[in-house]
Amino acid sequence: MLDQPQVDPDVTESLRIASGVCHVMFAYDAARSIDLDAAERRIHENSERQTLRHKHRAPSYLEYRPPPLRITHSSGPLDISSVSTRSTVDLLLYDFGAVAVTYCITLGGPFDALLSLSEQLYDNVQLLADSRKRIDEVLLRIGNAAAQPQVAPVVEDYVVFHIEALSPPFESRHLRDHYGRQIAQILRAEKRPLSDQEVEDALSATLSYGVDDLVVVDWNAALLVDREGDDIREVLQFANVELLEMRHLDQRLSWALDRSYETLLKRPAGFRRKLGRYGAELRAIGEWQVDNATLFEGVNNALKLLGDQYLARAYRLVSRRFRLDEWDAGILRKLQTLESIYQTVSDQATTRRMEVLEWVIIVLFVVSIGLEVLRLRFP
């Protein structure tokens, strides 16, 4: 059980956010792939290649491969109940076809006010609709730089409450101890008091680099207390994109397996099928297998953090929270099953062709004997 210290209400109410930004992220799978160089040429204003800034003396070669393309849109702020977004929206385009849309909301005032903001942002229909509209607009702008553009129905949203400074300043362990229940409610967007078990679960993924910074990662939101923290936020954003692609890939593989099973169970019918014409089915299964394996490898190899121990720890923490290893294992099993079906269909095709070839040889042998008999009878 989580042992939460009793806190003086006056002390609780005095904690304020001196400065901070709330980042609301939406991740989409928008295309089979995106040619980032071609997309950059089509978008001349407010575009730059995104790289990670390593504040912990990480080697410079730890970057995205290839770097995604950042596009900043200027637009009017969106009013969400008692708050408004900033007048710019960031879109991040990845070469494997994903696009992340990020809205920013300035934070300030009582720490307790984050709970109300969290409730307003939870499954926010207004931001979801606006983000989808921006995805359609950017696909239209980049044209054929996006291969097979089609926005998948699955979407992943995530909120990062990035607090740059608190008043008064708090050490990370004291903040977690004294405000653990409030942090859990903020991350779960839950106004009613949570049980000890729920609070303990919400605070189970926690990380600190120094005495004055803190990262608490939950399924739908994260609290980041750091004067800088951009590197951690980028890791959180990429993990959210990775989760989206794993969910999308899992759905695609389920569909491909269903179609493959249907192909496997079909009875040969018609003269062409009796001759072993399995080429179309094999090509289809092979394309499904290659497309999904390519996406899986592209997502998993897009970001390398092995040389930065703190960021690597942060990524492992987020991965465990999002259960990315379980998604990976499930996808690998489905890819192996698809490979097994492909091999089975290929074996069936080979067997059928061998049977046809044997019958052809038998027919030719009978015909040759018949011709020889006729030659001998009618010299």
What are the helix (H) ranges across the chain? 9-14, 36-42, 113-121, 125-142, 172-188, 196-202, 230-265, 270-274, 279-300, 309-322, 324-377
16: tokens are 């304020």
pLDDT at 264: 66
Task: Read off the pLDDT band of 379 (50, 70, 90).
Answer: low
- Can you tell me the mean pLDDT for 217-231? 91
Higher pLDDT, 250 or 115: 115
**Distance of alpha carbon 184 from its chain centroid, rounded?**
24
User: Of 16-20, 47-51, 150-154, 254-258, which range is least confident?
Assistant: 47-51
**pLDDT for 146 beyond 60:** yes
pLDDT at 276: 47
| CA dist list (Å): 246 to 13, 98, 156, 203, 326 | 41, 11, 11, 25, 10
Percent residues over pLDDT 90 in the chain: 37
Higher pLDDT, 379 or 32: 32
**pLDDT for 299 beyond 90:** no
List Cβ neighbours of 271 (8 Å cut-off, separation of 6 or more).
none
pLDDT at 48: 59
- Can you tell me the mean pLDDT for 17-22? 94
Higher pLDDT, 197 or 333: 197
Percent residues over pLDDT 70 in the chain: 82
217 vs 183: CA distance, rounded Å: 10
Query: Could you give the dihedral angle defined by the CA atoms of residues 310, 312, 314 and 316, in that order, rounded to the nearest 10 degrees?
Result: -150
User: Of 211-215, 242-246, 283-287, which range is least confident?
Assistant: 283-287
